[in-house]
Chains A and B, each alone.
Chain A
Amino acid sequence: MKDMPTHKKWQVILTIISLLVITAGSILFMDRLSGTSPDLCQDTIEDNAMVGQCLRYNACPFKGIGTSFGRFHQGLAWHNTRVLMAYTGMSIHQVFLVVRFLNALGLIVLVIVAWRIFGGIEAALGLVLTAYIMVHMEFTPWILNNSNILFFLGVLAVAVGLLVVRIRRPWVVLVFAALMALIGDTHIAATPMVLSLLWVVWLAEPKPGLVLYAGLVWSLVLFVLSPGTWITNISNIGTLTRGTPGAMGNIWDTTSVPTGTLALLAGLAAWSTNRKKRAQNKALATLIALVLPELLVFIIAGMLTGIDTTDKYLIQTAPAIGLLGGVAIVRLTGSVGERVFHKSMRAGFLIAPVAVSAAGMILWLWSVTSLANARAKDPMFLSRLTIRETAVLTRYLRSNGWTRADLLAGLKAPLYLNLIEAVRPGLAKGPGTQKTAYVIRIKKGVLPDTLPRNWHLLAKKQNMILYFVDEQGVLDWHGFQVCTRSCQKTGFVRSKMSFGPTYTMQGFPAPAKDLHQALILKIPIRPAANQAMRREVYMPQVPGWCSGRIVGIEGCKARITDKGRTATYTCLPGQQGRLVVRWSLGSPQCGAWDYYGLPPFFVEASPGNAGLIKRALLSYPQRLE
């Protein structure tokens, strides 16, 4: 450092500063985008069940978890990592922290590699574009599942892929092939990246033998990582099913497809601008090779199968798309900034660190509202509690004497199944009483600050509030009937399956993708013996929940309005009645992923509570009729 010229010294200092800014910016950005506690969703519950079974019974998964299409399995690398983390004593929040940190590290690695290979401005632009794609696509880093880690793995794919072309050594090809296999074993949607692998290796050294070698290593590593998964998947290729007709959305409405296409077009244009820069052009071609195959497979597979497309399956290509866009923009604009600044040596060394620092600052100062909106865009955002909120709820129930039986029959919440799975182990066994309560999560300001005394505030974070509403229940959830072809008395039974929900309802149709059936529940109304009572029923119309209709209220004076979505009824003292509600399973109002084999959520409460809960639920996204 002593013998260095002054401008060199400054270059080192500024580089260090810019890296610190990028590190701080990336960590803050990922923290704000992901939140501090993961949402409690079905994927996490199933992962937890697998981990628990593995550690408790020494019976660990051999072929990952089932996919939503065909009889394929996936994600064993992720599940085994979860097992290892749990084995070392890590809590679920610590696992989430690690994943969050790795995704932040991904942003840092992307900048460093891009800076070394393309330049500071390209790196800075690539980073900002990547962050933009992450925020606007359907990536859900607030959920702890195998998709979440794919961003970090995608960055490594870009970094190693670029180095394969630059270093051109077989051992780097070997590592690249192994990494691509690991990515494919983490999520089945990332297996088409094998095409990128072969293309990149061809770009590095156009030798068929080397490409064959890479393909062989990929296949073998994939098989070594998860033999059960891949033998099963190969055996089940014929089971690839078509999705629900019309379910596939417009792929151009996603973020990744149009952005990826634009980046590809710009990249191709940039590639043809200056063919003299062979090394830079090869690196550019590498980025194209990392984006194009996966994007094409995503579009073609979606069109052929009709499976609903969500661009979260392209998250592993987001770093390549972002960087490709950044590099292409700089190349196409003729690197104006660099030309201006390079005129002066003094300013020339400034440009890269300043650009990178600026990108870091953009990440640092990224609008918190925009990041919160990214999360709020998730249709299940309001319905799902975070794991921390679930723990608060469990403590509250336990301290108020709720038993497991009370939980099953008395707790009413939108994603009830998830709550049962997460809360039940924390409660004591014991007989059920007639407790009823609603758990509602709403945005701040939706309800007045002063609420009835039976509304208990459980948790409050930023602009979200979690309420626990005590309700004097009159529906007898211990003695109701389910009618499909015929009617029968129903109740909770322990599920026979090793994974998935612990409980199912006797006589309820099993959830299935091709289920088309009416589900009718007849629930006895048991009012107090000494006083008349007036009640309200409300069927919410929220996407992701089953929306049903109130068919009738027998034995009490009732008025059903709004096409069966709301009803009021009055029962005289001791007068017993029956509420009849109906759902069309497999219809647009109650799709395959909305029904869990349990009674769908609806509100039945005293007029005061029902009005407030309805008001809260109307602040959720509403299903369009």
Chain B
Amino acid sequence: MRLRYLVLTLLCLWPLHARAGYVLTADIQPLLQELVDSGILKQSIPRGFDIDDVLIQKTRIIMKFKPDCTLDLERNPGHHPPWFIEKLRCSDISITRESRQGLLFLGLLLDTSFYRTPWKFVSTTKHVYEPWTSDFVPLWFSLFDAATGLFILLMALGVVLYGVSLKKSPE
């Protein structure tokens, strides 16, 4: 009895395993440091920078930093790299757009980790802006979710059918 209980629980919660990779959080600092290391950013990001806002659109990601820096990434569907830096405007940071290697790295980074790692953006002022900045996940993720919901609905309907097929209580 207890074993069945456990198996059923695990069966119901198996999608959690698939989700494990999606709930990791990461700070923006390592990402930007990687951009610096890969040669995309000429200079290192000043320590103590502050993320002001992140705007995610269909084809663009715009990250605004304080004071007065904007990193603008454009989506390039169907191409590789899928994301490229449109512009980075900042008083003491500049960008080398010709850095193909760096762009490829960024593309791969965003294409994979953007889906897999909804970064947690925590600024130095301890203000959480958008804990889950990744607004988008791939189609299979959505279909999987819908299938999970339908599975629950079918189980509920099954229980209803089973329940009404039982004999009436003696009362």
Hey, which bits of chain A sit against chain B, CB under 8 A?
A: 53-55, 57-63, 76-77, 79-81, 83-84, 87, 109, 112-113, 116, 156, 159-160, 162-163, 166-167, 170-172, 174-176, 178-179, 181-182, 185, 217, 220-221, 223-228, 231-232, 235, 277-280, 496-498
Instruction: Please determine whether B152 and A178 come into contact, CB atoms closer than 8 angstroms.
Output: yes
Instruction: Please determine whether A498 and B160 come into contact, CB atoms closer than 8 angstroms.
Output: no
Q: List 10 A-B contacts (CB under 8 A).
A: A77-B145, A79-B142, A83-B139, A84-B142, A84-B146, A87-B139, A178-B156, A179-B152, A179-B156, A231-B132
Instruction: Please determine whether A83 and B58 come into contact, CB atoms closer than 8 angstroms.
Output: no
List 10 tightest A-B contacts by C-beta distance, closest first. Answer: A59-B136, A84-B146, A163-B163, A60-B142, A80-B146, A80-B145, A83-B142, A498-B57, A179-B156, A159-B160
**Quick one: given A163-B159, A175-B159, A231-B23, are A116 and B168 in contact (CB under 8 Å)?**
yes
- Cβ of B31 < 8 Å from any Cβ of A? no
16 extra interface residue pairs, beta carbon distance < 8 Å, beyond A83-B143, A163-B160: A55-B139, A60-B138, A60-B142, A62-B136, A76-B145, A79-B142, A84-B143, A156-B156, A159-B159, A170-B8, A174-B9, A179-B155, A221-B152, A224-B19, A232-B132, A280-B171
Instruction: Please determine whether A84 and B147 come into contact, CB atoms closer than 8 angstroms.
Output: yes
Instruction: Please determine whether A54 and B171 come into contact, CB atoms closer than 8 angstroms.
Output: no
What residues of chain B lie closer than 8 Å to A112, measured between beta carbons? Answer: 164
A227 to B13, CA, bound (A): 13
Hey, which bits of chain B sit against chain A, CB under 8 A?
A: 4-5, 8-9, 12-13, 15-16, 19, 22-23, 55-60, 75, 77, 118, 128, 130-132, 134-139, 141-143, 145-150, 152-153, 155-160, 162-164, 166, 168-169, 171
What residues of chain A lie closer than 8 Å to B158, measured between beta carbons? Answer: 175
A80 to B166, CA, bound (A): 34
State which of A61, A163, A280, A497 has its C-beta within 8 Å of the C-beta of B57.
Answer: A497
Question: What distance in Å separates the Cβ of A126 from its nearest Cβ neighbour in chain B?
Answer: 15
State which of A62, A175, A176, A277 has its C-beta within 8 Å of the C-beta of B137.
Answer: A62
Instruction: Please determine whether B149 and A225 come into contact, CB atoms closer than 8 angstroms.
Output: yes
Measured CB to CB, the nearest residue on chain B to A283 is B169
**Quick one: given A113-B163, A231-B23, are A59 and B58 in contact (CB under 8 Å)?**
yes
Measured CB to CB, the nearest residue on chain A to B56 is A498
Question: What distance in Å separates the Cβ of B45 from its nearest Cβ neighbour in chain A?
Answer: 25
A53 to B135, CA, bound (A): 12
Instruction: Please determine whether B22 and A277 come into contact, CB atoms closer than 8 angstroms.
Output: no
State which of B131, B150, B160 has its C-beta within 8 Å of the C-beta of A156.
Answer: B160
Please classify the interface of chain A as helix (H, G, I), strand (E, B), loop, or mixed, using the class held by over half of its residues.
helix
Instruction: Please determine whether A279 and B139 come into contact, CB atoms closer than 8 angstroms.
Output: no
State which of B5, B118, B152 has its C-beta within 8 Å of the C-beta of A62.
Answer: B118
Instruction: Please determine whether B157 and A220 come into contact, CB atoms closer than 8 angstroms.
Output: no
Question: What distance in Å separates the Cβ of B123 from its nearest Cβ neighbour in chain A?
Answer: 14
Instruction: Please determine whether B139 and A166 come into contact, CB atoms closer than 8 angstroms.
Output: no
Instruction: Please determine whether B131 and A60 come into contact, CB atoms closer than 8 angstroms.
Output: no
What residues of chain B lie closer than 8 Å to A59, measured between beta carbons? Answer: 58, 135-138
Please classify the interface of chain B as helix (H, G, I), strand (E, B), loop, or mixed, using the class held by over half of its residues.
helix
A185 to B157, CA, bound (A): 18
Question: What distance in Å separates the Cβ of B2 from its nearest Cβ neighbour in chain A?
Answer: 9
**Quick one: given A62-B135, A84-B146, are A279 and B171 in contact (CB under 8 Å)?**
yes
What residues of chain A lie closer than 8 Å to B142, measured between beta carbons? Answer: 54, 60-61, 79-80, 83-84
Which one of B118, B128, B139, B149 has the greatest number of beta carbons of chain A within 10 Å?
A: B149
Question: What distance in Å separates the Cβ of B94 from its nearest Cβ neighbour in chain A?
Answer: 25
**Quick one: given A87-B139, A172-B159, A182-B152, are A228 and B132 in contact (CB under 8 Å)?**
yes
A424 to B155, CA, bound (A): 42
Question: What distance in Å separates the Cβ of A144 from its nearest Cβ neighbour in chain B?
Answer: 16
Instruction: Please determine whether A235 and B136 come into contact, CB atoms closer than 8 angstroms.
Output: no
Question: What distance in Å separates the Cβ of A99 from its nearest Cβ neighbour in chain B?
Answer: 13
What residues of chain B lie closer than 8 Å to A221, measured between beta carbons? Answer: 12-13, 152
**Quick one: given A112-B164, A217-B12, are A225 and B135 in contact (CB under 8 Å)?**
no
Question: What distance in Å separates the Cβ of A203 from its nearest Cβ neighbour in chain B?
Answer: 15
Instruction: Please determine whether B57 and A63 come into contact, CB atoms closer than 8 angstroms.
Output: no
Question: What distance in Å separates the Cβ of B155 from its nearest Cβ neighbour in chain A?
Answer: 5
Measured CB to CB, the nearest residue on chain B to A170 is B5
Measured CB to CB, the nearest residue on chain A to B60 is A496
What residues of chain A lie closer than 8 Å to B138, measured between beta carbons? Answer: 58-60
State which of B5, B147, B155 has its C-beta within 8 Å of the C-beta of A178.
Answer: B155
What residues of chain A lie closer than 8 Å to B156, measured between beta carbons? Answer: 156, 159-160, 175-176, 178-179
Question: What distance in Å separates the Cβ of A15 from its nearest Cβ neighbour in chain B?
Answer: 12
What residues of chain B lie closer than 8 Å to A178, measured between beta carbons? Answer: 12, 152, 155-156
State which of B58, B131, B137, B141 has its C-beta within 8 Å of the C-beta of A498.
Answer: B58
A277 to B143, CA, bound (A): 46
A624 to B134, CA, bound (A): 45
Instruction: Please determine whether B139 and A81 come into contact, CB atoms closer than 8 angstroms.
Output: no
What residues of chain B lie closer than 8 Å to A170, measured between beta carbons? Answer: 5, 8
Question: What distance in Å separates the Cβ of B142 from its nearest Cβ neighbour in chain A?
Answer: 4
Instruction: Please determine whether B139 and A156 come into contact, CB atoms closer than 8 angstroms.
Output: no
Instruction: Please determine whether A171 and B160 come into contact, CB atoms closer than 8 angstroms.
Output: no
What residues of chain B lie closer than 8 Å to A80, measured between beta carbons? Answer: 142-143, 145-146, 149
Question: What distance in Å separates the Cβ of B100 from its nearest Cβ neighbour in chain A?
Answer: 24
What residues of chain A lie closer than 8 Å to B75, measured between beta carbons? Answer: 57
Measured CB to CB, the nearest residue on chain B to A153 is B153
Instruction: Please determine whether A224 and B16 come into contact, CB atoms closer than 8 angstroms.
Output: yes
What residues of chain B lie closer than 8 Å to A181, measured between beta carbons? Answer: 152
Question: What distance in Å separates the Cβ of A8 from its nearest Cβ neighbour in chain B?
Answer: 15
Instruction: Please determine whether B159 and A226 come into contact, CB atoms closer than 8 angstroms.
Output: no
Instruction: Please determine whether B19 and A160 come into contact, CB atoms closer than 8 angstroms.
Output: no
Measured CB to CB, the nearest residue on chain A to B168 is A116
Instruction: Please determine whether A61 and B135 come into contact, CB atoms closer than 8 angstroms.
Output: yes
Measured CB to CB, the nearest residue on chain B to A496 is B57
Measured CB to CB, the nearest residue on chain A to B1 is A170
Instruction: Please determine whether B22 and A227 come into contact, CB atoms closer than 8 angstroms.
Output: yes
